[in-house]
A and B are shown apart, each in its own frame.
Chain A
Amino acid sequence: MTPPINAVVAALHRAAPGSRVMMSPAQMAGYESDGLGYKSFRPDLVVIPSDADELAQVVRVLHDARVPICLRGAGTSLSGGPVAAQGGAIVHTSKLRAIREISLDGFWCEVESGVNLRQLDEALQPSGLCYPPDPSSGPVCTIGGNVASNAGGAHCFRYGVTSNYVLGLEVVLLDGSTHRFGGPAGGNGPWLEDWKRLMIGSEGTLGAFTRFWLRLTPRPEKVWTFRATYPDLQSTERAIHGLVRHPAFPVAIELMDPRAVALVETSSMAVGLPKGHFLIVTEIDGPAALVDLRVESVAEVLRSAGSADVLFSDKAEDRENLFKARKAMGGLLGQVSPDFLVQDAVIPKRALANLLQLIYDEADRAGVPAVTVMHAGDGNLHPNFLFDSRIPEEVKKVEGISKRLMQRVVEVGGALSGEHGIGNDKSAYMPMVFGPESMHLQLAIPQIFNPRHQFNPMKVFTERRFVA
């Protein structure tokens, strides 16, 4: 039987006296939802541990009290991950903010899970090294959330996503025990198996991360950023196909559709993008002696695909403007619509025009505004459907479109999520990709570390329900 909540709070105060425990409805309101917004779940309590040791004590107390435990970083997830879908406690990592070490010769750093990307980037600036994964939510999102959802970003086409940079992690398991998988050297440590591989991208369903060792890499010496406009989907697709195979190996290949461009250009974030076209932003970087040689041939790929408007620059301010426009999308959508639902499928790039057309047809037919941006190099599609969750008919329409889109994604050989994770938003689609045997193998993993699904229940797989 679950003890009364007041007894749990008292036990938390005893075990983790430096931690903050909150229960008032006003305080809970801030933790009801994540970046997905429209699906909200009120937690019974929120705990902010003062450090990793107290976090371990908090987990132990909650485990013993049979309270569902949901870890939360900055709460920017777009898939309904850091919410108390079955009630219980949110454990917020906002106090775990230390960058503990930066090793210049070893090319690694050690950070606590609540460190955010901007903080890390600022700390790394003087070293000439960088940590490449760059989700657009970088100014606020935490490394803990990034590792748990295997975050990506615009520059991941060449540099790779979070999992390519995690050398090791420290995790608190359900019984409050702390384990370290890997470390600065990025191997297994004393373990036979590479358990960190199962932890990365596990969306808070296996344990609570407290520390990471991350791989660093030299900052590029020079960057050229290109912008090209296209009149239609076919020429846009041609340009993307040309870029992904170019030996200059662009770092980023980003696509904004005309509706996304219009949204930026009619806002206070306008940077003078030409309206009414598909826009590709791409970037090459490296030693000046190499990238300067490559500029013309990249521009030629963009032109020969059908763009009459190719601009390129090696000026930091031009680059910042373009990426500001691209990265402003999330915030702008929140301003123009009460709610939005963003999908995160990854598709084979030959299906790009086809899938975009499907999105437009479906959205137009249903009268749902859709604005699409894409990490096009990776085939990672982000259609944003705008709606009002107070109108049940609109929710139904948007969820219907999402489901049909996912079906098509699976048919063309794509993946449900490239970087946002499954959360509770996409869990119903998992049987589309996993047959019974694969599903069985997947569901075996929590049996090792979190057999009763007390950590983050109702996420990733609908079967994951906590039974106290």
Chain B
Amino acid sequence: MITEERFFEHFMDPVDGVLCLSATSDAAAIEREASPHGLRFPLLLDRATPLCEQVASSPFAPASSRYGPYCDNITGMNWELPDGRRVRVGERVVKSTTGYDLLRFLLASSSRYGRAMDYVLRLRPACDTSRVFCLRGDAACLRSALKSLLQSTWMHWLDSVDLVAGDSPFLRVAVHCPALEFEAYQDFLSAFSKKFSLALEPAAGPALDGCPDLVVKTTPEFVADTALSLAKHPGAKCVALCSCGVVHVFLPDSGAIGEIVRPIESALHAMGGHWQSRHVSPSPSPLEASWISTLRKEWNIS
């Protein structure tokens, strides 16, 4: 029987497509390890911010549309509790039901119980063609196009389908595929945009919007309306990660968050959604506070 604490060492396993590296790594550091093996970590919000800060700012990135949230793509971590004790949570294999799922719980907990030191990332095959397209048209056409796209089997194969809500909203679709398949994607997107009277054009850059100031979690059904309405706030830019039901809100002034979320909070809670912001930490209800206090006591976190 092993009785010692186990930790993840840094490693790259191209067969399993898993990579263990420091949680403070940025996109370039991940690519240095993964690219030589024809692999990539698709869940990025921007290229320069350390991954742990990206994860703390939102559970989702645009490519979550295809690959799920961060917590489904980080299989394990070395975690440091606030007093410096370290533990390993999760696994280096992609599937496990071995004890309570502290991995996902901690990933969602900001830094209330400590911080990630290292991540084990689930990588995906990297292909030679990456393109981003914008689909523009009037609001009604965008809405019905979005509804149809979400119900289509193509959804599993598009890296992201985002509604970028600002002065003139548009749909942003990211494609990552082998060159051989690109034509099929193009054919699909042209026919699709024609059907919904949308203009299809290449986007200027990748689907990287940075770390949001505010994240709103709703259902795919309400995500477009939520994004369009939040974008009315002065200076706000909103990106709806449509199939995830997530709105990333970018604000000129994080002081406005309370005012923005107050009108939508109870409706969000009623459908099991919520908002979160790296700038604000809400307080728990008395019942939840008692659970948290038990947990902190048991974990010896003062």
Contact = CB atoms under 8 A, between A and B. Distances in A.
A58 B154 CA distance: 46
B245 A417 contact: no
B107 to A, nearest CB: 8
Interface string B146-190: 010011111111000000000000000000011011001101100
B184 to A, nearest CB: 5
Contacts of B101: 150, 163, 197-198, 200-201
A350 interface: yes
Interface in A401-450: 410, 413-422, 430-438, 440-445, 447-449
A293 to B, nearest CB: 6
Given A164-B72, A183-B271, A444-B295, A421 B97 contact: yes
A437 B272 contact: no
Contact of B100 (A193, A201, A416): A201
Among B86, B97, B272, B285, residue most surrounded by chain A Cβ atoms (within 10 Å):
B97
A185 B272 contact: yes
Given A103-B221, A186-B217, A444-B295, A152 B268 contact: no
B95 A380 contact: yes
Given A348-B92, A415-B95, A218 B108 contact: no
A379 B87 contact: no
B105 A434 contact: no
Given A160-B72, A194-B108, A187 B97 contact: no
A444 B269 contact: no
A436 B95 contact: no
Contact of B2 (A247, A293, A410, A414): A410
A447 B97 contact: no
A197 B105 contact: yes
B91 to A, nearest CB: 5
Contacts of A410: 2
Contact of B85 (A149, A186, A201, A437): A437
B284 A191 contact: yes
A202 B284 contact: no
A441 B295 CA distance: 9
Given A107-B150, A107-B243, A432-B2, A378 B93 contact: yes
B245 A431 contact: no
A460 B219 contact: no
Interface stretch (B9-17, B203-211, B232-240, B248-256): B9-17
B156 A217 contact: yes
Contacts of B188: 287, 289
Contacts, number: 270
B174 to A, nearest CB: 15
B225 to A, nearest CB: 12
Among B102, B127, B156, residue most surrounded by chain A Cβ atoms (within 10 Å):
B156
B95 A433 contact: no
Nearest to A460: B99
A185 B93 contact: no
Interface residues of A, number: 96
Among B94, B102, B294, residue most surrounded by chain A Cβ atoms (within 10 Å):
B94
B298 A188 contact: no
Interface in A98-120: 103-108
B50 interface: no
Contacts of A188: 108, 217, 272, 274
B96 A418 contact: yes
A442 B98 CA distance: 10
A160 B75 CA distance: 13
Contact of B68 (A107, A160, A287, A416): A160
Nearest to A445: B100
Interface residues of B, number: 84
A152 B95 contact: yes
B5 interface: yes
Interface string B214-244: 0001111110000000000000000000010
B93 A379 contact: yes
A107 B223 CA distance: 12
Contact of A197 (B38, B104, B184): B104
Interface in B49-103: 68, 71-72, 85-89, 91-102
A432 B268 CA distance: 42
A435 B109 CA distance: 23
Contact of A218 (B99, B155, B178): B155
A415 B284 contact: no
Given A197-B104, A418-B95, A221 B219 contact: no
B5 A416 contact: no
A219 interface: yes
Interface in B2-28: 2-6, 13-17
A415 B294 contact: no
Nearest to B296: A444
Contacts of A164: 68, 72
A156 interface: yes
Contacts of A218: 150-153, 155-156
B259 interface: no
B140 interface: no
Among A180, A198, A220, A221, residue most surrounded by chain B Cβ atoms (within 10 Å):
A198
Given A152-B95, A418-B95, 6 more contacts: A218-B150, A218-B153, A247-B178, A378-B93, A417-B96, A441-B102
Interface of B: 1-6, 13-17, 38-39, 68, 71-72, 85-89, 91-102, 104-105, 108-109, 112, 124-125, 127, 147, 150-157, 177-178, 180-181, 184-185, 187-188, 217-222, 243, 245, 268-274, 282-285, 288, 291-292, 294-295, 298-299
**Lowest 4 A-B CB distances belong to which pairs?**
A183-B272, A185-B273, A435-B5, A444-B298
10 contacts: A106-B219, A107-B243, A163-B101, A183-B273, A247-B177, A294-B181, A348-B13, A350-B15, A418-B93, A418-B96
